[in-house]
Structure 1
Amino acid sequence: MTDLPPARRADAARNRQRILDAARTAFADTGAETSMAEVARRSGVGSATLYRNFATRHELLEALLVDEVDEVCAAAATVEGDSPAERLTTWLRRFFQYVTAKRPVVLGLLEHTDTNDPVFKTRGRMLAAGQPLLAAAQDTGQIAGDLDLGQILDLVVAIAKIPGTAEYRQPILDAALAGLNKLGP
């Protein structure tokens, strides 16, 4: 006998997804201070429906983070490109989008968190997802072998933290990713 949770009704699943979509947008627009009332308003559900799905703000933030991490990890397996280096670079650009979009969510989680929360397990999942891409690019000699994925992800995160607009950070990211290509011996 399995201990699977009961399946959600279709309308309940739609409400949960509406809440997550609205919360993702709200946190991106207004930052880590976004209230549950604002999420309910934007999602078009009542407070009772919101709290039935996510009893606390922390639970909502965790669900957002897990959804986003799942998407980035899945992208590593399906990313397209003509070469291993191009596939890695495409995935790193997707990772960059995640880092810049998740910042308000992570800041909200860090307010009341401990080391068992998903925010602390994210890095390991990202490393596991992206490692085959880096290994393939390094095996073909397209990416220098003296870098590990942790260092590369740290580089991308550092660029995401640079103050300014997305338009300001984009050429910095482009230059850094171009620099990953093995140019020398």
Structure 2
Amino acid sequence: MRADARKNYSHLLAVARDVVAEDGVDASMRDIARRADVGLATLLRHFPTREALFEALMCRNLDALTHMAGELETSSPPDEALVSWFREGVAFVQSYRGVVDLMASAHADPDSALYVSCAAVHAVGARLLLRAQAEGTARADMNGDDLFALMSALGWLAGQPAFAPRADHLFHVIASAILTNPSSNDDRNNLSHPD
């Protein structure tokens, strides 16, 4: 990509990130183009579909989650790695209103532009869960689909104004349900919550 094209691409992504942070995944492509001070055709040349735009927006975060899982596998005990990664996953899901629906539908649709990124995140989460299960620190009746669903559900729930004040507590409850012996892991995993 030429330097000027790369600069335009980066500018469009930065503006899109701001608009989507304000308006959620239903943000208007026309509004993004207008705020980026380009024509809609220019935006569509870089991102021909809404899904392509969201793939570009989310790709960095999803790649970071995938990379983080690899680092945690080599540097942390299985239960700590799982909970740390799960916390980052929940934070990502909260980053854009409506991202849960996109990820949930992309997760099951190999034709989706988001499928590969979502599948990679799902796979590393499942790997972290299996590692903790092998050590006996995560419940054995869960699988990667369950973990992905809990991460998505908790991210969505914590993003709702009525539940936002209890987000840390809700995280603790879910993380405690994933681990087999959460009381011994509370301090290590920073699972404390307000009473």
TM tier, shorter chain? Answer: 0.7 to 0.9
Any conservation in 1 of the 2:21–2:95 contact (CA below 8 Å)? yes
Give the alignment's TM-score, normalised by structure 1. Answer: 0.74
* Pairwise CA distance, 1:105: 4.8
Q: Give the whole-Å Cα distance in 2 for the aligned partners of 1:166 and 1:18.
A: 31
Q: Give the whole-Å Cα distance in 2 for the aligned partners of 1:170 and 1:17.
A: 34
Using the aligned pairs only, state the percent identity: 29
Give the alignment's TM-score, normalised by structure 2. Answer: 0.71
Structure 2: tracts of 5 or more residues without a match: 183-195
- The superposition leaves residues 32-63 of structure 1 with CA deviations (integer Å, 9 ceiling, x where unpaired) of 33222332344x45225423312343432333
* C-alpha RMSD of matched pairs (Å): 3.0
Q: Give the whole-Å Cα distance in 2 for the aligned partners of 1:37 and 1:71.
A: 29
**1:158 maps to which residue?**
153
**1:13 maps to which residue?**
6
Structure 1: tracts of 5 or more residues without a match: 1-7
Match of 1:78 among 71, 74, 90: 71
Any conservation in 2 of the 1:85–1:181 contact (CA below 8 Å)? yes
- Asked if 1:169 is matched to 2:167, the reply is yes
* Pairwise CA distance, 1:90: 0.9
Q: Give the whole-Å Cα distance in 2 for the aligned partners of 1:153 and 1:140.
A: 20
Q: Give the whole-Å Cα distance in 2 for the aligned partners of 1:58 and 1:134.
A: 29
Question: 1:106/1:93 Cα in 2 relative to 1: closer, same or farther (>3 Å)?
Answer: closer
Q: Give the whole-Å Cα distance in 1 for the aligned partners of 2:102 and 2:17.
A: 12
**1:130 maps to which residue?**
125
Aligned residues, how many? 173
**2:82 maps to which residue?**
88
* Pairwise CA distance, 1:91: 0.7
**2:190 maps to which residue?**
none
Any conservation in 2 of the 1:15–1:45 contact (CA below 8 Å)? no
